[in-house]
Structure 1
Amino acid sequence: MSDSHAKLDDWLGNERVAKDHITAFPLAALAATLVREKDGDMVPPLWHWLYFLPITPMSEAGPDGHPKRGDFLPPVPLPRRMWAGGRLTFHAPLKVGEHATRTSTIANIEDKTGRSGRLVFVTVQHTIEAGGELKLEEEHDIVYRDASPADARPQQPQLAPQGESWSRTIDADPVMLFRYSALTFNSHRIHYDHPYATQVEAYPALVVHGPLIATLLLDLVHRERPDATLQSFAFKALRPTFAGQAFKVCGAPSADGKTIELWAKDHQGYLTMRATAGIE
């Protein structure tokens, strides 16, 4: 184990408790952004990401727009970070008017070397409670990585599956990305600062938020199976999606109707996110 890895492991078990009042405005604003009706006073699955937002002063913002590292999250010395995926178990929906508590714990830190250089994966466990009732359990995967060298060969993309039962085309333009960044207080510059995204992090355009794509996948389930109750959801981001290029969210329910395979594909048909939802 390297000294840097050992130091990162000092953050294992680090815990943070956040409290929030579940208010109606963020739900109405995201519903308007996704062009769907509100679910009464219920917080739809994954819309809990509109709450418990870390609010840090400008003096604590790093060069990428994120809060500086080394407080709750470990001080990983790599320039790029992305939301890599997650696993969630839904016990009961949050409701407008509730006072909720989220407890977050650094559960795992994994240091690897891949084709593009060093990678550090951090897993954060969250539990959300309200009124003495467990509402949600979540494992959130964050990946940190080196900037890609100029001569790096891009990884071969994977074609998305065929034969979806449901699909919806999404035009994630800069306005949608701005709204989602604002609603989640996400100041990561790759989502709204085109010169930074293209010139500093070398993306071809603004990057669509991984959590937004995951939310759109479950929004597809809601549109196609509004009677279903979500029990679990797992997703993994595989490839960036960029603004200005329409992409699709797709779904295919199992024969017994208890699970739904979900995926997103870009304008070229390449797989960008894969997910599975458990319903009843």
Structure 2
Amino acid sequence: MTDIHDWVGRKRRIADEMATPLVRRMAALTDRTDIALDRGAPVPNHWLSMLFDDAQPQSQLGPDGHPAKGDFLPPVPLPRRMLGGRRVTYHAAPCVGDTLERETAIASITPKVGRSGAMIFVMLRHTITGPNGLVAVEEQDTVYLEAKRNAPAPKEAPVTVPNAAWRDSWTPDPVILFRFSALAFNGHRIHYDADYARDVEGYPALVVNGSVSTLFLFEAALRRAPGAQIRHYDARTIQPVFCNAPSLLCGTVANAEGEHTLWVGQPDGAMAIRIKTRIA
């Protein structure tokens, strides 16, 4: 672990453009007909999730389709990875045609032991700037896990589910997963290679990317708040959402502090993804 902790503080910069074709494709994925494609038109804040891909050469990818560990990412000695959560604050809306830069720093590396065995949390801090300064700051938690076991992992303690003010039925299908992975150039095989997801990583089906669940939760909330934007959110992955599994997109009204709770509900009533967010 000493060598892994030496990775803390490393930084990397990457530039990207909020290009018209990307905005058009995201609008198609989310069934949005109200998005202007003119240069300089504002783009929903949360659509930043489609930018800043890890477009590494094929020769530098690991067996899971992600960039191999040991270059920028630390050489964590655990084979599986998933998104544990993220916290994002938006300071300005990106616009069509903006050139943006993201500086990523490895903020912390934390080993833990959970119900399913050894885990290592790697927190990345992303700072995104644009033509007029700061656009967003994100802290992202990636969880590395042991190889799959023959016995099922013990279930986490249930999370209290609030009373929903609204619910939308949602069944993420392979086309949604493919289109988002293609849009974001995300090569993680658990989102499109069912044989790999099942036989290598031990999942029962394709895993829905956490960014996909977050995207569709926000779109559902914003349909109820025309003209608003996501200003801040704190997302936590509680359990995976699987492809073709009927789910619910749920949300509450704002509490006294102006905060909404959004979540993906499972058929058994459990909460899979939970987001605390401010919308204005």
Where on the TM-score scale, by shorter chain, does this alignment land: which range? over 0.9
What's the TM-score once normalised by structure 1's chain length? 0.93
Aligned-residue sequence identity (percent) comes to 38
Give the alignment partner of residue 33 of structure 2, picking from 12, 34, 37.
37
Structure 1 counterpart of 2:222: 222
The question of whether the paired residues in 2 share the 8 Å contact of 1:157 and 1:271 is answered with no
Give the alignment partner of residue 13 of structure 1, picking from 9, 12, 25.
9
The answer on 1:245 being equivalent to 2:245 is yes
SS state at 1:198 partner: helix
The question of whether the paired residues in 2 share the 8 Å contact of 1:217 and 1:262 is answered with yes
Residues 35-85 of structure 1, C-alpha deviations (whole Å, 9 max, x = no match) = 222432322132112112121111111111111011111111111101111
The question of whether the paired residues in 2 share the 8 Å contact of 1:45 and 1:218 is answered with no
The question of whether the paired residues in 2 share the 8 Å contact of 1:117 and 1:145 is answered with yes
The question of whether the paired residues in 2 share the 8 Å contact of 1:264 and 1:271 is answered with yes
Gaps of 5+ in 1: none
1:153 offset after TM fit, Å? 4.1
Structure 2 counterpart of 1:87: 87
Structure 2 counterpart of 1:179: 179
SS state at 2:147 partner: coil
Structure 1 counterpart of 2:104: 104
The question of whether the paired residues in 1 share the 8 Å contact of 2:45 and 2:229 is answered with no
Residues 201-250 of structure 1, C-alpha deviations (whole Å, 9 max, x = no match) = 11111111111101111112211112334321110011011111121111
Which ranges of 4 or more aligned residues in structure 1 deviate by more than 6 Å?
none
Return the alpha-carbon distance in structure 2 between the equivalents of residues 248 and 10 of structure 1: 42
SS state at 1:77 partner: coil
SS state at 1:46 partner: helix
The answer on 1:190 being equivalent to 2:186 is no
CA spacing shift, 1:197–1:255, aligned 2, 3 Å: closer
1:255 offset after TM fit, Å? 4.3
Farther off after superposition, 56-65 or 150-159:
150-159
| Count of residue correspondences | 276
Return the alpha-carbon distance in structure 2 between the equivalents of residues 159 and 123 of structure 1: 23
Matches within 5 A, 1:1-280: 5-40=1-36, 41-156=41-156, 158=158, 161-256=161-256, 258-280=258-280
Return the alpha-carbon distance in structure 1 between the equivalents of residues 247 and 50 of structure 2: 23
1:162 offset after TM fit, Å? 4.8
Return the alpha-carbon distance in structure 1 between the equivalents of residues 229 and 48 of structure 2: 16
1:184 offset after TM fit, Å? 0.9
What's the TM-score once normalised by structure 2's chain length? 0.93
Residues 168-213 of structure 1, C-alpha deviations (whole Å, 9 max, x = no match) = 1112111111111111111111111111111111111111111110
SS state at 1:26 partner: helix
Residues 97-152 of structure 1, C-alpha deviations (whole Å, 9 max, x = no match) = 11111111000110111221110001111111111411111111100010232134
CA spacing shift, 1:257–1:220, aligned 2, 3 Å: farther
1:159 offset after TM fit, Å? 6.2
Return the alpha-carbon distance in structure 1 between the equivalents of residues 266 and 23 of structure 2: 27
SS state at 2:45 partner: coil
